[in-house]
Structure 1
């Protein structure tokens, strides 16, 4: 299993770099060429979301992107360090809805539409979006 880790300052101009790196590593891992645009778009949405959350909460730590090459799948994890209120806190009114929350929901909807295998987790110490795609085994040459 090969892993590539990318850390970048939470600035919008770095999202493009994350998309390019993700596509290159996905191609090398054996993700179907027809799916690479979806990988790029999904990573772009996840990184844009993380950058927005960092900016909105004044978080100065870098955004984390981990690219994991496994035997039968390729996974990407995009992590942020922005506090995410728990459902109980939000229901109790302890956390006010931020104006960018609608944009956040839209980004997650786009990711869910692009990626069949996606998992979103979040708590007061940050959030993580895990996405994965099947890989095509390399042909065995005679």
Structure 2
């Protein structure tokens, strides 16, 4: 099982890089070409959501993307690192400058429509989206 891990500052301009790297690693792992566009879009949505959550809670740190080549599945984990459930949903002072909850729900809906094997949960650092696709036998 090989893993490629990316960590990037929660800035929108880094989302494109994460999408491109995810597609390249998925192709190398043997994910079918016909699903690479959906994979790219799902990674972009998950990373955009993570960036938005960072902006919403006003917390520093990095977005983590793990690209895991398993025997029969290609797994992508996107960790937002924005903190645990129950932490403030808005920056102190309630300025409302962070991510829109409706946009967050829309992003999750898009991901759900693109990925058959999807888990949305938490890890020690915050939210975690885990997606996987089958690998074609060589």
Shared fold (TM-score, shorter chain, > 0.5): yes
**1:7 pairs with 2:7:** yes
Residues 38-86 of structure 1: CA deviation (Å, up to 9, x unaligned): 1100000000000000111112101000000011010000001223535
Residues 6-52 of structure 1: CA deviation (Å, up to 9, x unaligned): 00000000000000000000000000000000110000000000000
Deviation, structure 1 residue 95: 6.5
**1:53 pairs with 2:53:** yes
| CA distance, structure 2, for counterparts of residue 111 and residue 137 of structure 1 | 25
Deviation, structure 1 residue 128: 0.1
5+ long unaligned stretches in structure 2: 91-95
Is contact 2:72–2:134 with CA below 8 Å preserved after alignment? yes
Report the equivalent of 2:119. Answer: 119
Runs of 4+ in 1 over 6 A off after TM superposition: none
| CA distance, structure 2, for counterparts of residue 123 and residue 37 of structure 1 | 27
Report the equivalent of 1:81. Answer: 81
**1:36 pairs with 2:31:** no
Question: How many equivalent residue pairs?
Answer: 131
5+ long unaligned stretches in structure 1: none
Is contact 2:19–2:43 with CA below 8 Å preserved after alignment? yes
* TM-score, scaled relative to structure 2: 0.88
Deviation, structure 1 residue 124: 8.3
| CA distance, structure 2, for counterparts of residue 57 and residue 31 of structure 1 | 35
SS class of match (1:131): strand
| CA distance, structure 2, for counterparts of residue 132 and residue 124 of structure 1 | 21
Report the equivalent of 1:134. Answer: 134
| CA distance, structure 1, for counterparts of residue 89 and residue 14 of structure 2 | 29
SS class of match (2:137): coil
Is contact 1:51–1:63 with CA below 8 Å preserved after alignment? yes
